[in-house]
Amino acid sequence: MGRFMEAVQADDIEGMGRLWGTKDGPMNGRLDQEALEMRLRVMQVYLRHDSFELAPIRSAFGLRGTEIAYQMTITRGACTDTVPVVMVRWRNQWLLQSVDLDAMRNPARPCSRE
């Protein structure tokens, strides 16, 4: 997750695409390039941060042995959000499989849930 978040901060959309995927591999080359970039840009807007921390979720329901769930706390200015994240094993690395952006504040607004 750390490498994905580094790519977010570095505006490295290609790197994000190499680190976002499923058990079948990264999304780079698997989605239409325009659609992939649009999805990654949306994720980037939400995941830009001043800091982040990960805490493993010990009893995440429905995970397979190749998946790990975390609660990620993202701090952006005075705003802090905690969201579930699932990482999946692919070959010799971990890919970001999902992050619940719906659980986050709108990054374009002040710290409110609206």
Which domains occur in the chain, in start order?
2-103 (3.10.450.50)
Left (φ > 0), alpha (ψ -120 to 50) or beta: where does 40 sit? alpha
Structure confidence at residue 30 as a pLDDT band (50, 70, 90): confident
pTM: 0.87
- Residue 39 contacts residue 32 (beta carbons within 8 Å): no
Sign, CA dihedral 25-27-29-31, equals positive
Per residue in 63-98, pLDDT tens?
A: 667 888 999 999 998 899 999 999 999 999 999 999
Could you tell me how far CA 39 lies from the centroid of its own chain?
A: 11
Structure tokens at 22: 């499923």
